[in-house]
């Protein structure tokens, strides 16, 4: 393996420790469990292997389709992709992509490219280009370097990120709810119009948890909601609705 393989005994100790003390506080886990492993190894072993309800074995056809769609939307953000696939870990998804899908898709893209001389490709804006200031920063140097966005797309990113980074929620009570909700919807739709997404969106679209959840989430310390999730939900909804 890439490092020293875990023994059954180590697995048992780690499981026992997590059951007793719960997840989190990984820096204490090696000591509490009596393991000669670093905090990161413990966390990874738990998340990728020992955690309950982890699905093992081959990926189903629907899962593969989902991965391809999500990867189009999110790029190499494996934890977000895995979050939409119950029982699958980010590492599983990443490995599957690297071993199976990337080659397959590259081959397909190669075929497409040979026909592309006649067809003008319409580049649909990607949800991953929009985010809160924090999530934009988090992705710095990850997605941006691996892809080669066209110039106009970059300009659109700058516009949108400016808008979304100023969009924060400071709801301090029910009295603000309606105002915030309509303001939120306006902001969402005006942002999405920039990305040419909303025009195709069915009127009955609802993302997970509804607008209420976004406003509640905004009451936390950061006061900002993750745009990626919203846009991903919208894109997925639209994608599945049209297929």
Where on the chain is the footprint of DNA (CB under 7 A)? 1-6, 24-28, 37-41, 43-45, 48-49, 76-80, 90-92, 94-96, 98-100, 134, 137-138, 140-142, 146, 221-222
Question: Which among 168, 214, 208 has a CA at the least distance from the CA of 83?
Answer: 208
CB of 205 to DNA, least distance (A): 25
Q: And the tokens for 132?
A: 């809160």
- Closest CB to DNA among residues 3, 199: 3
- Closest CB to DNA among residues 99, 179: 99
Q: DSSP of 159-186, one letter per residue?
A: HHHHHHHH------SGGGHHHHHHHHHH
Q: How many residues does the chain have?
A: 243
Exposure b/e, 122-133, CB count within 10 A at least 16 = b: eeebbbbbbbbe
3-state secondary structure of 118: coil
CB of 63 to DNA, least distance (A): 13
CB of 42 to DNA, least distance (A): 8
CB of 82 to DNA, least distance (A): 8
- Closest CB to DNA among residues 14, 230: 14
- Closest CB to DNA among residues 97, 156: 97
């Amino acid at each position: 393996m890439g490092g020293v393989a875990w023994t059954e005994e180590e697995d048992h100790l780690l499981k026992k420790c997590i059951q007793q003390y719960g997840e989190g506080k990984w820096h204490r886990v090696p000591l509490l469990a009596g393991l000669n492993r670093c905090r990161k190894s413990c966390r990874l072993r738990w998340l990728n292997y020992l955690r309950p309800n982890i699905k093992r074995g081959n990926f189903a056809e629907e899962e593969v389709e989902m991965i391809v769609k999500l990867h189009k939307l999110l790029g190499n953000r494996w934890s977000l992709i895995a979050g939409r696939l119950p029982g699958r870990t980010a590492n599983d998804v990443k490995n599957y992509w690297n071993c199976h899908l990337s080659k397959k898709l590259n081959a397909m893209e190669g075929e497409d490219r040979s026909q592309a001389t006649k067809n003008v490709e319409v580049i649909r804006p990607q949800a991953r280009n929009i985010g809160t200031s924090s999530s934009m920063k988090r992705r710095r140097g990850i997605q941006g370097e691996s892809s080669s966005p066209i110039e106009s797309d970059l300009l659109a990113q700058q516009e949108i990120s400016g808008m979304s980074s100023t969009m924060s929620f400071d709801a301090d009570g029910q009295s603000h709810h309606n105002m915030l909700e309509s303001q939120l919807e306006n902001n969402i739709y005006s942002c999405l119009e920039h990305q040419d997404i909303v025009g195709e969106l069915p009127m009955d679209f609802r993302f997970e948890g509804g607008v209420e959840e976004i406003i509640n989430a905004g009451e936390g310390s950061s006061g900002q909601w993750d745009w990626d999730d919203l846009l991903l939900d919208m894109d997925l909804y639209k994608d599945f609705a049209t297929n």
